[in-house]
Amino acid sequence: MDGVNDYDYLFKILLIGDSGVGKSCVLLRFTKIKTIDLNGKQTKLQIWDTAGQERFQTITRNYYKGAQGIFLVYDVSERDTFDNIQNWVDEVKNNTEKAVTMLLIGNKCDLVNKRQVSTEEGEQLAQNLKMCFLETSAKDNTNIAKCFQVMAGEIEIKLSTDENEIDNKKIISVTEGKKIKKRKIC
């Protein structure tokens, strides 16, 4: 590979959720791995964080443009952040032109004594929303790499359904209305 095109796929992945849930910490923990191997293909993950914009409700439609994957992140020790997930799902649907892969993340699972949202509640919400679910801890690196690997795998599944070539990189184009297979919690 020539350095400029040193990957087979490029996936834009967003981290969204209430302020303070640990989105930036998840991103910082993962930045060591920018390109991953996905079934023998070098896959570059371009990961975007809201950088606090959600506090001021200034996330624009441009932020969502071109995204193939979105992590919906809540803090297991803050019930309100979990209760707001449906609002974030609605935000995604209102600001994206096509179906994107969404994965529910319950962050800060290391805060066992402060937990306000059970693992089962997270699993149930993910099942209702027809998406994968993982609990993570950026502090102790629990499931951080795994959530990005799962996301890339889910995007690849959609890629095999409908694929376009743009700028010599494979970018996903998923049309609305396709049936989503029921999937087990990741």
Nearby residues of 31 by Cβ (< 8 Å), 6 or more positions away? 47
This prediction has a pTM of 0.74
- For residue 164, the model assigns a pLDDT of 45
Domain chopping of the chain, boundaries: 10-172
Domain 10-172 has CATH 1.10.1740.10: no
Q: 98-128, pLDDT tens digit by residue?
A: 778 999 999 999 999 999 999 999 999 999 9
> Residue range 129-151: average pLDDT?
93
* Average pLDDT along the chain: 78
| pLDDT for 95 beyond 50 | yes
Residues with Cβ within 8 Å of 167's Cβ and at least 6 positions away in sequence, in order, are: none
Q: Are 105 and 146 in contact (CB under 8 A)?
A: no
Look at the block and give the residue holding tokens 């969204």. Answer: 16
Q: What is the DSSP letter of 132?
A: E
Least confident of 104-108, 132-136, 151-155: 151-155
